[in-house]
Amino acid sequence: MREALIVSRKFSLEESHTLAVAQEHGAYKTLKKLQNLSPLEVIKIIKESGLRGKGGGGAPAGNKWALMPQESEKPSFLAVNCDESEPGTFKDRQIITKDPHLLIEGILLTCYAIKAIHAYVYIRGEYYQYQQVLQVAVDEANAAGLLGDVKITLHRGAGAYICGEKSALLESMEGKRGHPRLKPKQPEPEWYFGNPTLVNNVETIASVPFILEHGAEAYRSYGTERSPGTLLFAMSGHVERPGVYEAEFGVPMMEYINHFGGGVKNGKKLKAVIPGGASTGVLTAKEAEEVLLDYESLRAMGVSLGTGGMIVMDEETSMVAVLKNLLEFYHEESCGQCTPCREGTGWVDKLVGKILDGRGSSADIDELLEIAETMNGKTICVFAPAVSAVIVSFLTRFRDEFEAAL
């Protein structure tokens, strides 16, 4: 597997979070390039690079940037999503602690392209110690006069997974409960206090400096045609060397797990892999052997790539217990706004709890699938559909385990 370090290039340096070390290794060089590039030209380069959002959805970043008005009476904003609460995901945290200046550089480039005057970084409340590292870096960059006219404000969340959803994030940043908003009828920017706003994941923004420095083609030289570039893939669970390791899209999943992770912990056999954060479904060991790590290959398997945070499970893991654990998470984290999700998450949690306790019946499995159907495609945000897909994914692949538990 070839090395592909775009975002994590400086991670292993001593004191990599300081301005001095970062600049020694080329940070902020791209800002000079902006003198010869118009905002629209920057957006064009991002579009050409094929950069896809790394917060889980994989939406083409350039298209989203292009929705931002270049001429507007209202101020434009950038909101950088560092809510990182998807179980199995701990990559943005590496960026803000190991190379915060890369993120700041990306923010400045992005703000230039979308003509934003102020960037907010929404950081989950539990990351306060990491937020402080980023704050020091922002202050350093500011003191060094690097920020120019752009303001950067770190905004602390307070414990709510749903605030990672972009419209809930903006609601939360407006000082409200993190309730996702109703979807707009046509493509448009997000809105922060009625002002056009772009929401991107930390890693998406941190990928921008490389693209502007080396060009769209250089970025495309990594990854696949439709999933260009790299991702801070990660592993946790039953694996020898868990952690975040950047790799290009399209590498075989098992090769990644064995190469970086040293294979399944304690020499046990693999049973299943959750491919990219809790909400992406589950793969059997056999499927994991076959699949490549890119959006299209995973989609073809009926799961998704998500954030690339793989959770590895060995042969002794009970899939019923795993599903119960995940459903507890969703039960706890549903914002409670819409009926199918509020009531559904609680009910599926109870049903699987019943099965896990050995009190279940085959009717319960049918009902689980029925509720999953009701939770799919009928809610305000995609939280409930994701839960639905998780249930279906576990029940189709490991139905025998559920039936054995009845």
Partner 1 sequence: MMVQVIVDGKNYEAEEGSLLIDLLIKEQIKVPYFCYHEALGADGNCRMCMVEIAGQKRPQIACDTLVKPDMEVSSKSEKIEKVHTDILELELINHPVDCPTCDQAGECSLQDFYMDYGLHESKVRIEEKVKHDKHVDLGANVMLDQERCVLCARCTRFTDKITHTHELGIIGRGDEAKVSTMPGRKLHNPYAMNLVDICPVGALTSKDFRFKQRVWFLETANSVCHGCAKGCNIYIDHHKIKYEDDMIYRFRPRRNDAVNGFFICDAGRLSYKLLQNNRQTMIRHKDEIISEEKSIALYQSLLKQYKNSITVVIDANLYNEEIEALVDYAQRIGAEVCAPLECYDDTEFADTMLKSAKRAANYEKVVKMGLDRTMPKTSGLIINFNHTETFYAEMQIDFSTHQRPNASFILPIAAYSEQSGSLTNEDGLVQMCEKAVHKNSPSPTLREWLQKVGL
Partner 2 sequence: MSFSFTKANLERIEVLKNRYPSTQALSLPCLWMAQYQEGYITLDAIDVISETIDVPAMEIYRVATFYTMFHLEATQKKRVLVCKTLSCKLCGSEGILEHLKGHDVLVEHVECLGSCGTAPVMQIDDVNYENLTPEKVDTILEALR
Ligand X SMILES: Cc1cc2nc3c(=O)[nH]c(=O)nc-3n(C[C@H](O)[C@H](O)[C@H](O)COP(=O)(O)O)c2cc1C
Interaction between residue 357 and partner 2 (CB under 8 A)? no
Candidates 41, 67, 72, 193; binder of partner 2 (CB under 8 A) is 193
Give the nearer residue to ligand SF4 in terms of CB position, either 243 or 346: 346
Report what 185 binds from ligand SF4, partner 1, ligand X, none; CB cut-off 5-8 Å by kind.
partner 1
Torsion angle of alpha carbons 327, 329, 335, 336, nearest 10°?
40
On whether the CB atoms of residues 273 and 236 are closer than 8 A, the answer is: no
| Phi, then psi, of 287 in degrees rounded to 5 | -65, -40
Smallest separation, CB 9 to ligand SF4 (Å):
36
- In whole angstroms, what is the distance from residue 390 CA to residue 377 CA? 14
Interaction between residue 338 and partner 1 (CB under 8 A)? yes
Say what angle helices 339-356 and 383-397 make with each other, to 10 degrees.
30
Smallest separation, CB 188 to ligand SF4 (Å):
19
- In whole angstroms, what is the distance from residue 277 CA to residue 88 CA? 5
Give the nearer residue to ligand SF4 in terms of CB position, either 285 or 347: 347
* Contact track, partner 1, 374-393, x by CB under 8 A: x--xxxx-------------
Interaction between residue 391 and ligand SF4 (CB under 6 A)? no
* Three state DSSP letters for 304-320: CCCCCEEEEEECCCCHH
* Contact track, partner 2, 53-82, x by CB under 8 A: ----------------------x-------
Report what 177 binds from partner 2, ligand X, ligand SF4, none; CB cut-off 5-8 Å by kind.
partner 2
Smallest separation, CB 296 to partner 1 (Å):
21
By Cβ distance, which residue is nearest to ligand X? 53
Tokens standing for residue 132: 């402080």
Q: Which residues contact 98 (CB under 8 A, 6 or more apart)?
A: 8, 10, 11, 16, 17
Smallest separation, CB 406 to partner 1 (Å):
18
Give the nearer residue to ligand SF4 in terms of CB position, either 30 or 334: 334
Interaction between residue 162 and ligand X (CB under 6 A)? yes
Return the bridge partners of 191, or none: 196
Interaction between residue 328 and partner 2 (CB under 8 A)? yes
| Phi, then psi, of 327 in degrees rounded to 5 | -70, -30
Interaction between residue 200 and ligand X (CB under 6 A)? yes
Give the nearer residue to partner 1 in terms of CB position, either 111 or 382: 382
Stated as kind and residue range, the H or E segment containing 79 is strand 76-82
On whether the CB atoms of residues 92 and 132 are closer than 8 A, the answer is: no
Q: How many residues does the chain have?
A: 406
Q: How far is CA 93 from CA 203, 359, 373, in A?
A: 10, 41, 35
Chain residues 149-168 in contact with ligand SF4, contact rule CB under 6 A: 162
Q: Is the dihedral of CA 374, 379, 384, 385 positive or negative?
A: positive
Tokens standing for residue 64: 């989203």
Candidates 288, 382, 389, 391; binder of ligand X (CB under 6 A) is 382
- In whole angstroms, what is the distance from residue 372 CA to residue 59 CA? 25
Smallest separation, CB 367 to partner 1 (Å):
7
Chain residues 321-350 in contact with ligand SF4, contact rule CB under 6 A: 334-338, 341-342
Q: What angle do CA 221, 27, 118 make, to 5 degrees?
A: 100
Q: Which residues contact 79 (CB under 8 A, 6 or more apart)?
A: 119, 120, 121, 122, 166, 169, 170, 173, 190, 192, 197, 198, 199, 200
The interface region with ligand X, picked from 99-107, 158-166, 213-221, 357-365 by CB under 6 A, is: 158-166
Q: Which residues contact partner 1 (rule: CB under 8 A)? A: 160, 177, 182, 185, 331-340, 342-347, 350, 367, 370-371, 373-374, 377-380
Q: Which residues contact partner 2 (rule: CB under 8 A)? A: 75, 84-90, 93, 118, 124-129, 151, 153, 155-161, 172-178, 192-193, 195, 234-238, 242-244, 274, 278, 309, 311, 313, 317, 322, 325-326, 328-329, 332-333, 335
Q: Which residues contact ligand X (rule: CB under 6 A)? A: 53-57, 59, 81, 83-86, 162, 164-166, 199-201, 204, 381-383
